[in-house]
Amino acid sequence: MVQTANDTIWSSNMSNKVMYNSYSIIAQLLDTGNLVLKTGKGDILWQSFDYPCDTLLPGMKLGWNLVTGLNRFVTSWKSADDPAKGEYSVKIDKRGFPQLVIMKGSVNKFRMGSWNGLGFTGYPTQQLKRKQRYKFVFNEKEVYHQYEVLYSSVVSIYSVSTSGNLQALAWTSKKSNRIVIFTGGEDSCDNYAMCGANSVCNMEGNIPRCECLKGYVPRFPEQWNMSYWSSGCVCVERIESICGDNDLSGFLKYSEMKLPDTSSAWYNKTI
């Protein structure tokens, strides 16, 4: 517990759960950076890794304990010199098929997508893939993401900035300075639902950034022409050049697309 003369600044809130007279309580800072409170027998009563701030460290779980309801997520600072809780957070959305999201308050800002066994579908590029091992656990008791560093010569962490961007930072044995490996959420196409329904966002820098899928037109053309795209596009009647000669059974192919939002998805648990 940390106190001033009159106020409690921080507390582990364990006093009502521990019989202090029954055994000794030990506070220990582990080599991983995890501060733990444990009994003399080694049972962990509380750990700082369950309450991350703005940084995700190796070995830290990002996600849910479905039994206790504990949700571990990373939150930005209020400002660069104020460590109070900011408005951005990185967390696991466990609705539908779980996915990793960056939120501004209660609104999605950036969707990194669901786990496909190798990476997150909405952000497949991972520059540290050969330096780290990733794990995603999804069962009846837990759903969380975790990573570990494979080589001691490289120290890497993930941090959410005050502007809501997720950064991968690294230090090496050759350089003591921090290196920004990548920053997610910088491109405007990363903004959640920027272009609205039935449209795509072009990350190649084309103007306009948003365009309707083939066979669709802007819902509100005047807004669309003013670069206000969030209202999306609507389907038009059959177009011969798109559908062919009375053939409505085919599909149009789009490549290099972010896979859909899975918060409302159904899935087969046996696969």
Highest mean pLDDT range out of 9-18, 111-120, 179-188?
Answer: 111-120
Give the model's confidence band at 41: pLDDT under 50 very low, under 70 low, under 90 confident, else very high.
confident
Query: Is the pLDDT assigned to residue 243 strictly greater than 50?
Result: no
b/e sequence 106-142, b meaning 16+ C-beta within 10 Å: eebbbbbbbbeeebbbbbeebebeebbebebebeeee
Query: Is the pLDDT assigned to residue 25 strictly greater than 50?
Result: yes
pLDDT at residue 17 in the model: 53
b/e sequence 189-222, b meaning 16+ C-beta within 10 Å: bbbbeebbebbbbeeeeeeebbbbbebbebbbee
Query: Is the pLDDT assigned to residue 247 strictly greater than 70?
Result: no
Query: Per residue in 61-119, pLDDT tens?
Result: 999 999 999 999 999 999 999 999 999 999 999 999 999 999 999 999 999 889 988 88
Query: Per residue in 204-236, pLDDT tens?
Result: 766 778 999 988 999 999 999 888 999 999 988
CATH code for 52-186? 2.90.10
Q: Calculate the average pLDDT of the chain.
A: 84
Give mean pLDDT, residues 232-256.
67
pLDDT at residue 172 in the model: 78
Q: Give the residue extent of every domain in the chain.
A: 1-51, 52-186, 193-240
Residues of the chain with pLDDT > 70: what percent?
A: 83
